[in-house]
Structure 1
Amino acid sequence: MALYIRDPEVDELARKLRAMTGAKSKTDAVRRALRNELRRARRPERFDDRNAKVMAMADALGSSQTLPFDMKAFTDAMWDDA
């Protein structure tokens, strides 16, 4: 089955995507875009859920600071104003 792109904006988007991704043709670029969109649509996950997972991973890593951070002292040292 043929897919004819008659919309100039869609044609331009396909051209840009082909150039950015190194696809062999606009058809390959559109194929890749459609597959990615289908993959994304199959796993609908709310932002809040994704964010909660990321925050849990960050919490699991723990703090990188063991002492309270003094921003003024850091800035002064960075600018040699100490």
Structure 2
Amino acid sequence: MPLYIKDPEVDKLTAELVGLTRTSKVEAVKAALKHEIAHRKGSLPMRDRLAKSLAMARAAGPFAPGDHKRETDEMWGED
């Protein structure tokens, strides 16, 4: 669904950003939204930012059994 905002203040802010960045309204709004999203994600607590990685690690389970030292040595061509 297209975004349609009828707000004079938003229009004024968009025009100011367009002037500063010398881009189109679409590009200015897109850049502003991306910047705000990145800012918000960066301010999340570390626990929340790592939750997805932790869930993937738990789903993968422990390391597979085997002689990892021997396998690494073989991979590097060492005895």
Which TM bucket (shorter chain)? 0.3 to 0.5
TM-score after normalising by structure 2 = 0.48
